[in-house]
Chain A
Amino acid sequence: GAGVSQSPSNKVTEKGKDVELRCDPISGHTALYWYRQSLGQGLEFLIYFQGNSAPDKSGLPSDRFSAERTGGSVSTLTIQRTQQEDSAVYLCASSSGQGLTEAFFGQGTRLTVV
C-alpha cells in the first residue's frame, strides 16, 4: 500500500491476556517508530528502529512490552499480561533517508483492556 498500515484497527482484550499489534511501514522506509496515545494525552514514545542498528527501546514502559522488526520491514508490538492502564491508541510511523526525513503515521490501533 501507499501508506503505513496498522492492524487490527481495534482490539478488545481481557486483562492478563497477551496482544500483538502489527505495523506495515511504507515500502523502502528504513526507520520505524511506535508511540502510544492515551485518552486526551500527548504522544508517548515507545521504541524506534533504524535500519540494522540496535533499536532505541528507552520508551518501553515495562518489561511486558516488546517489539520486533523482521527483515527490516514489518514490526510487531507485543504486550504481555495486559493491564487496564495499557488501554490507549498505539500509533506506528515510518520514514526514509536514515530516518531523518518526513515521518508518516498509520491510523493506529485502539486497544481496550477490560
Chain B
Amino acid sequence: KQEVTQIPAALSVPEGENLVLNCSFTDSAIYNLQWFRQDPGKGLTSLLLIQSSQREQTSGRLNASLDKSSGRSTLYIAASQPGDSATYLCAVRQYFGSGNTGKLIFGQGTTLQVKP
C-alpha cells in the first residue's frame, strides 16, 4: 500500500530565506507527483506536476525535484515571502493495474510560516 510522508510537519522561517520541503513515498511505481498549496479555509491550488520520467519542474521561485527510485521529492522555495505562508501538500498517482487506479494519494502536508 502506497504511503506518502511529508517532513517537517511545520516550518517557520524568516522572510528571504530559501527552504526545502520534503515528500517521500513507499512505492516507486508512480505515474506522476503533484505539489499543491492550501491556504486556511480554502481549496487546493496546484503548483507543479512532475511526470515519472522527469527529474524536476520549475515555476517562478518554485522548483520541484523527483527521484523516483529512492521515493523522494523536494519542493524548493527561493527567497521566501510572507505570502508563501500556507500548507504544502504532495500527492502521487500510481500506475494503473494491480488494483491501483488513478487516484491521488496525499501526504499530511507541511505548514509553512514565513515571518516578515
**B-contacting residues, A66-114, CB 8 Å:** 91, 93, 98-108
Q: Does B58 contact A (CB under 8 A)?
A: no
A-B contact count (CB 8 A): 56
The range of chain A's interface size is: 20 to 34
Q: Does B101 contact A (CB under 8 A)?
A: yes
B53 CB to nearest A CB, Å = 12
Q: Which residues of A contact B102 (CB under 8 A)?
A: 31, 48, 50, 56, 98-100
When chains A and B are docked, how far (Å) is the Cα of A91 from the Cα of B45? 12
Of B13-21, B36-44, B64-72, B75-83, the one with at least 4 CB within 8 A of chain A: B36-44
Contact of B42 among A42, A59, A103, A107 (CB under 8 A): A107
Residue of A nearest to B102 (CB): A99
Q: Which residues of B contact A41 (CB under 8 A)?
A: 108
When chains A and B are docked, how far (Å) is the Cα of A95 from the Cα of B9? 28
* Total residues of chain B contacting the partner, CB 8 A: 22
When chains A and B are docked, how far (Å) is the Cα of A31 from the Cα of B96? 14
When chains A and B are docked, how far (Å) is the Cα of A99 from the Cα of B93? 10
15 A-B pairs (CB sep. < 8 Å):
A31-B102, A41-B108, A42-B89, A42-B107, A43-B91, A45-B105, A48-B101, A48-B102, A50-B102, A93-B44, A100-B32, A102-B49, A103-B46, A106-B43, A108-B43
16 further A-B pairs in the complex, CB-CB below 8 A; given A48-B103, A93-B44, A100-B93? A31-B102, A33-B103, A41-B108, A42-B109, A43-B89, A43-B106, A56-B103, A93-B104, A99-B93, A100-B32, A101-B49, A102-B34, A103-B34, A103-B91, A104-B46, A105-B44
Q: Enumerate chain B interface residues (CB-CB to A < 8 A).
A: 31-32, 34, 36, 42-46, 49, 89, 91, 93, 101-109
Q: Enumerate chain A interface residues (CB-CB to B < 8 A).
A: 31, 33, 35, 41-43, 45, 48, 50, 56, 59, 91, 93, 98-108
